[in-house]
């Protein structure tokens, strides 16, 4: 059985036979068959096949897609160093009861901060902390709405990455 399968597959892949005429016929059960050589015992009909559609100059219709390097754009893109950089506390739109006004800001960063980079935390647009700490305690905040975000600064002071801004409310008595 295996030999027949191998022969059939070989015939399919290596066959260069082209049929000139295609016939159709029905067997004793009424099933329609198609082929280039019908059995002699049946009455076969010649099947008129539609003409193949041939596209002229197909290769000239479409232009090749260029890569960013081929387009000269690879120099403009910045290399992404950090795959994750976000504020994990406080949560966005969180109400924090802090009668003394103290709120802790926690950052998540992957991979860890490089030695030549620094973190800066901003509260309501003002720089509140700078260094390599991923957790900062902000003290004596006024009641009401505040916005916090963080920036990773490079060795030359350039912005490497900025976190999404988080809005939170401080509730004080």
- What is the DSSP-derived secondary structure letter of residue 71? H
Instruction: Give pLDDT, residue 115.
Output: 87
In 36-125, where do the E strands start and end? 45-47, 84-89, 94-97, 103-110, 118-123
SS3 for 9? helix
Rounded-to-integer distance, Cα 81 and Cα 114, Å: 9
Dihedral of alpha carbons 33, 38, 44, 50, sign: positive
Query: Considering only CA atoms, which of 88, 147, 153 is closest in space to residue 118?
Result: 153
Q: With a cut of 80, say whether residue 6 has pLDDT above it.
A: no
Dihedral of alpha carbons 58, 59, 61, 65, sign: positive
**Mean pLDDT of the 37-66 span:** 79
**Mean pLDDT of the 51-60 span:** 74
> Which domains does the chain possess?
2-71 (no CATH), 84-171 (2.60.40.10)
Instruction: Give pLDDT, residue 94.
Output: 93
Q: What pLDDT, in 10s, does the model give residues 81-140?
A: 888 999 999 999 999 999 899 999 999 999 889 889 999 999 999 999 999 888 999 999
Of 138 and 62, the structure prediction assigns the larger pLDDT to 138
Q: With a cut of 90, say whether residue 77 has pLDDT above it.
A: no
- What is the DSSP-derived secondary structure letter of residue 122? E
Q: With a cut of 80, say whether residue 148 has pLDDT above it.
A: yes
Instruction: Give pLDDT, residue 13.
Output: 52
Rounded-to-integer distance, Cα 32 and Cα 43, Å: 12
Contact 82, 152 (CB under 8 A): yes
Q: With a cut of 80, say whether residue 172 has pLDDT above it.
A: yes
Rounded-to-integer distance, Cα 109 and Cα 112, Å: 6
Q: With a cut of 90, say whether residue 53 has pLDDT above it.
A: no
């Amino acid at each position: 059985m295996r030999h027949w399968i191998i022969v059939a597959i070989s015939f399919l892949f290596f066959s260069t036979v082209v049929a000139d005429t295609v016939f159709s016929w029905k067997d004793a059960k009424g099933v329609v068959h198609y082929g280039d050589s019908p059995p002699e015992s049946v009455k076969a009909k010649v099947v008129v096949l539609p003409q193949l559609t041939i596209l002229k100059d197909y290769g000239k219709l479409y232009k090749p897609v260029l890569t960013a390097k081929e387009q000269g754009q690879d120099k403009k893109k910045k290399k992404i160093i950090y795959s994750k950089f976000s504020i994990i506390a406080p949560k966005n739109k969180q109400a924090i009861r802090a009668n003394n006004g103290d709120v802790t800001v926690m950052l998540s960063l992957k991979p860890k901060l490089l030695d030549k980079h620094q973190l800066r935390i901003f509260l309501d647009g003002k720089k509140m902390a700078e260094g390599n700490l991923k957790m900062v305690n902000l003290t004596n905040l006024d009641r009401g709405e505040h916005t916090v975000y963080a920036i990773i600064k490079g060795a030359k002071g350039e912005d490497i990455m900025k976190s999404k801004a988080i809005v939170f409310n401080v509730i004080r008595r």
